[in-house]
Structure 1
């Protein structure tokens, strides 16, 4: 077997290995259970961060977590406003 052929076989084996690793990563990311677990973890973190805002810890340092707290507070304000509107419009 020539060295060129051996080199091609080595490159092919590496390419297969890289492809298999990529497929495994994609399969994990697209798994519904994994996505649900990630979402639940994110919601728990947001609730904890929002609670921390009111207990003196302040806003989280990470931009994503800080944004999630702001969104949660905005949603809570909208729900509260709609609830008050419904209660105050009753005859």
Structure 2
């Protein structure tokens, strides 16, 4: 192997290592508990806003399907809690 070939190979390895390190850093940032909690908080707030809009007669969002699904899940969970509370109240009487 010539010196030029070796130098080119070492340069390619250096670039590949830097790219790999950047990718690992990006994945670590995306998967950090703090980032995941922030994403969950944002999604929950959006679902609450969408559910509120639905309850005030504005319908479900027409954007990404996940927004409508999240609003429906939130509305279903609230309805489930209401039913459970009603059953507990009826049972105690």
Q: TM-score, normalised by structure 2?
A: 0.85
Q: Is residue 2:59 matched to residue 1:68?
A: no
Show structure 2 runs of 5+ residues with no match: none
Figure out how many residues of one structure are paired with residues of the other and give that number: 91
Q: TM-score, normalised by structure 1?
A: 0.87
Displacement over 3 Å in runs of 4+: none
State which drifts further: 37-46 or 53-62. 53-62
When the two chains are superposed, the root-mean-square deviation of aligned CA atoms in Å is 1.5
Show structure 1 runs of 5+ residues with no match: none
Q: Which residue of 2 aligns with 1:41?
A: 42
2-side partners of 1:36 and 1:66: how far apart?
A: 21
